């Protein structure tokens, strides 16, 4: 990288993208492809595809603790240690609690990935579209504010990002879970297929479908051009994939942006704030703290995309104060940081199935089956608002008996036996954004880089508890009727945040008095600043949100560039 700190001119770009995760990577790709000189700022270190996946080809026996996190690390970092993917093979991609403190006014497990690629390296890769049943939810059910967009606004952009990212799935023809541009789906197991057929025959409005996921089940030309090949079913995704088998910024959008010659990627760059020019009435750049030297440098551009991941995007805007915006950039409504929400992942159910003993599976699969939302879809029918989707998986595990000792024990260990079909689901519930669920900045305490410490203050509510109860009841009934046995439900009681689907705080809406962003993801009050990560979400629905961030980002960049050309921003 050239020394870009020399003069203001050297520090001036056409566009600045804050963050290099799943949405920032898309912003980088879109801007650079359209010919804009783009600065991509990443607070963490660089992680280059192929080069920086140190554990990717390691065998189980090469990990001293066979994947387990040592107790001393767990004790020092209780939050991240609760994350399912925080294991010995991928721990280097997760932020340790100790290194980046925040204040939990109520318990909130904030899972972060501070590196180039962000959490797109370790995400769970499930990708479903929203429908108008989701976008019209707040207006129909009277919460939050109406979304300023509808499915029709986003549908072409879903198609656009799906083709490039590569999404495996099946066209199911479900109105509230629209079909996409799918590569072939991953197979279902025998018992998953049985349950799919059982549900179709016995429940009019319920479906069990092939999981839709960002894996190259059958790579197309566009994927080959990215240097990515077919998913090899390793299911070691969280280590970074040397095949580019799943979509990440590192394997896909960032190298694509790099190839244009228009991208300047600057790791170790914490964005302190966005610079607002009172005369011009718009943002002119950002203040960046170099994490190594702790020096502050300004960078300038005509348009700024904030893709720092939901919570940190709120932090940057709240910290961007000026005479015009004393309470944070674009915060005329006073709602910045409020109406934050997440997904309710507390419910789990497991069971066994005694049938189909003569069948099993072979190889590994990076996804499972999926049960789209079936509660309150067409109209309100329960005593809680909205609903939940669920994962569905059925597989057989091999085990060995471990009785006694000596030669007989060794014989047992040498001869694996096939267990029964295990069956399980987890809940993905929509939560209702509330004004009191919010992110604020500490007035005094600062972190190592001089940024104010974040406060997170949110919790489950009565609606979430009722929905959890309904999940247990409905799933237990479906499982029972399908002939599953040994059914067990459990409430993980996990804190909000551990779903890693935190959303909101900078919500979209039609009215500047009740929202921060317009229908193009521009701040109502500062139109050359866009937010297209989780922070922009007006409501949460039940779908894994990343695909929607990608589509919103590509759409917003397209709009930004056309406005720039017309001199409108």
Binding site for another protein (CB under 8 A): 57, 59-61, 64-66, 68-72, 186-190, 192-193, 230, 232-234, 236, 357-365, 398, 400, 402, 404-407, 409-411, 413-416, 418
216 by Cβ neighbours in 10 Å (0-12 / 13-18 / 19+) ranks as: buried
Q: Which residues pair with 287 in a beta bridge?
A: 273, 298
- The nearest distance, CB 396 to another protein, in angstroms, is 9
The enclosing H or E element of 424 equals: strand 417-430
CA-based nearest residue to 340, from 439, 220, 248, 243: 439
The encoded tokens of residue 450 equal 């001089």
Task: Let me know: does 25 contact 317? Beta carbons within 8 Å.
Answer: no
Minimum separation from the CB atom of position 128 to another protein (A): 20
Take residue 207 and report the two structure tokens written for it: 């479906």
Comparison of 59 and 493: residue with beta carbon closer to another protein: 59
Of 63 and 300, which CB lies nearer to another protein in the complex structure? 63
Question: How far apart are CB 220 and another protein at their closest, in Å?
Answer: 19
Nearer to another protein, 190 or 212 (CB): 190
Rg (CA), the chain: 24
- Residue number with CB closer to another protein (218 or 477): 218
DSSP string, 413-478: HHS-EEEEEEEEEEEEEE---BTTSEEEEEEEEE-TTSPEEEEEE----HHHHHHHHHHHHHHHHH
Q: Which CB atom, from 96 or from 466, has the smaller least distance to another protein?
A: 96
Q: Kindly state the smallest distance separating residue 395's Cβ from another protein, in Å.
A: 9
Do residues 405 and 393 lie in contact, with contact meaning Cβ atoms separated by under 8 Å? no
Cβ distance to another protein smaller for residue 362 or 444: 362
> In angstroms, rounded to a whole number, what is the distance separating the alpha carbons of residues 222 and 210?
24
Cα 268–269–270 angle (5° rounding)? 120
Cα 79 from Cα 84, distance rounded (Å): 11
CB of 362 to another protein, least distance (A): 4
**What tokens does 494 get?**
């996990």
Q: Which is nearer to another protein, 236 or 569 (CB)?
A: 236
Quote the least distance from Cβ 76 to another protein, whole Å.
Answer: 13
Q: Report, in Å, the least distance between residue 401 CB and another protein.
A: 11
């Amino acid at each position: 990288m050239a020394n870009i700190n020399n003069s203001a001119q050297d520090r001036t770009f056409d566009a600045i993208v804050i963050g290099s995760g799943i949405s920032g990577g898309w912003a980088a790709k879109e801007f650079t492809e359209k010919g804009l000189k783009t600065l991509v700022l990443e607070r963490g270190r660089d992680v280059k595809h192929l080069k920086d996946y140190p554990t990717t080809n390691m065998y189980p026996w090469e990990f001293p603790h066979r994947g387990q996190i040592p107790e001393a690390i767990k004790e020092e970092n209780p939050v991240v240690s609760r994350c399912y993917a925080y294991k010995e093979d991928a721990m280097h991609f997760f932020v340790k609690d100790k290194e980046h403190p925040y204040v939990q006014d109520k318990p909130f497990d904030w899972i972060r990935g501070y590196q180039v690629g962000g959490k797109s390296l370790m995400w769970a890769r499930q990708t479903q579209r929203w429908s108008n049943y989701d976008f019209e939810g707040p207006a129909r059910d009277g919460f939050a504010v109406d979304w300023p967009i509808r499915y029709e606004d986003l549908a072409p952009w879903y198609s656009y990002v799906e083709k490039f990212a590569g999404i495996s799935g099946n066209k199911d023809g479900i109105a509230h879970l629209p079909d996409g541009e799918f590569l072939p789906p991953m197979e279902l197991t025998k018992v998953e297929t049985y349950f799919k057929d059982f549900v179709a025959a016995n429940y009019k409005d319920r479906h069990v479908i092939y999981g839709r996921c960002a894996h190259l089940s059958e790579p197309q030309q566009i994927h080959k051009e990215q240097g990515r090949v077919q998913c090899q079913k390793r299911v070691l995704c969280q280590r970074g994939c040397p095949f580019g088998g799943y979509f990440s910024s590192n394997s896909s959008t960032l190298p694509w942006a790099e190839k244009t010659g228009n991208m300047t990627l600057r790791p170790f760059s914490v964005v302190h704030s966005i610079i607002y020019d009172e005369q011009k009435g718009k943002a002119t750049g950002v203040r960046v703290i170099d994490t190594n030297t702790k020096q502050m440098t300004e960078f300038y551009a005509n348009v700024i995309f904030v893709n720092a991941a939901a919570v940190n995007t709120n932090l940057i805007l709240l910290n961007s104060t000026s005479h015009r915006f004393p309470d944070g950039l674009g915060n005329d409504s006073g709602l910045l940081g409020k109406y934050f929400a997440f997904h309710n992942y507390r419910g789990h159910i497991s069971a066994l199935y005694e049938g189909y003993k003569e069948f099993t599976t072979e190889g590994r699969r990076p996804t499972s089956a999926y049960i789209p939302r079936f509660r309150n879809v067409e109209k309100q029918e329960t005593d809680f608002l909205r609903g939940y989707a669920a994962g569905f998986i059925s597989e057989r595990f091999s085990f060995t008996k471990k009785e006694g000792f000596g030669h007989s024990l060794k014989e047992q260990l040498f001869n694996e036996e096939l267990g029964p079909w295990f069956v399980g689901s987890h809940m993905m519930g929509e939560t209702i954004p509330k004004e009191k669920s919010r992110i604020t900045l500490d007035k005094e305490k600062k972190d190592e880089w001089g940024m104010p410490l974040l406060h997170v203050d949110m919790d489950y509510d009565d609606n979430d508890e009722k929905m959890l109860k309904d999940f247990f009841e409905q799933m237990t009934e479906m499982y029972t009727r399908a002939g599953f046995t040994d059914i067990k439900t459990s409430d993980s009681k996990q804190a909000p945040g551990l779903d890693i689907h935190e959303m909101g705080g900078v919500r979209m809406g039609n009215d500047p008095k009740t929202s921060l962003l317009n229908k193009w993801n521009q701040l109502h009050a500062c139109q050359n600043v866009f937010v297209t990560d989780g922070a922009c979400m007006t409501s949460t629905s039940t779908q894994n949100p990343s695909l929607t961030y990608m589509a919103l980002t590509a759409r917003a960049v397209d709009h930004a560039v056309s406005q720039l050309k017309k001199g409108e921003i």
